[in-house]
Chains A and B, each alone.
Chain A
């Protein structure tokens, strides 16, 4: 079945450093979605990418969808303590339901 792999599972960074998490699918995805879950909270939808090679930015966050629509990345520039949380990618294959990755847990050391 469809699998969405995410690496790394955990990342500790010093405040101000950059951070990147990667998402890889075994199959071509119709779109890729990114979510953030703060500690003690619930996943919150951040953004969706649809087109091959698409890049979108949200302030310090840059999201990229691979040319083959099988991988994606989320890059955070100059992390802040407010970036702490778990970042999930998720994507559907064709008309199938969305499958979530395991998530990357980000810790930011002040």
Chain B
């Protein structure tokens, strides 16, 4: 499945680093999402973009900063992260926010 791609697939960063995660969808969808998935925790919705506009921010710390330049691309900018931010970060897209979502392979992030 290559409908939703994410880069990088793995990332190790120090707490003082700045990095960005990239997501691209080739499905012509209008909604894009960032999720955090930690071990033994449910999927945590972080941000939702609908037609490039942010429609949801689930009390995510400001060290995570999303950017959606167009309906096909979504970024998650990371700075001064904490070790507890280590997780799998999943991007997804859907036709609109009520329809089924298609997930990318995720970025496995480790904060040291």
* Among B13-21, B78-86, B97-105, the stretch in contact with A: B97-105
**Nearest CB of chain B from residue A105's CB, rounded to whole Å:** 9
B103 to A44, Cβ gap below 8 A? yes
Q: Total A-B residue pairs with C-beta atoms closer than 8 Å?
A: 49
* Among A12-20, A55-63, A64-72, A94-102, the stretch in contact with B: A94-102
Task: Select one of A42, A45, A88, A90 contacting B106, CB under 8 A.
Answer: A42
The 8 closest A-B pairs by CB, nearest first: A102-B42, A92-B98, A97-B97, A42-B103, A45-B100, A100-B43, A43-B103, A33-B100
**CA–CA, A101 and B43, complex, Å:** 8
Number of A interface residues, CB 8 Å?
A: 22
**CA–CA, A97 and B56, complex, Å:** 9
User: B48 on the interface (CB 8 Å rule)?
Assistant: yes
**CA–CA, A73 and B43, complex, Å:** 19
Task: Select one of A45, A48, A92 contacting B102, CB under 8 A.
Answer: A45
Given contacts A43-B43, A100-B43, A103-B42, contact A31 B103 (CB under 8 A): no
Interface range, B side? 20 to 34
Closest residue on chain B to residue A88 by CB atoms: B43
A95 to B98, Cβ gap below 8 A? yes
**CA–CA, A100 and B98, complex, Å:** 12
Task: Select one of A41, A45, A101 contacting B101, CB under 8 A.
Answer: A45
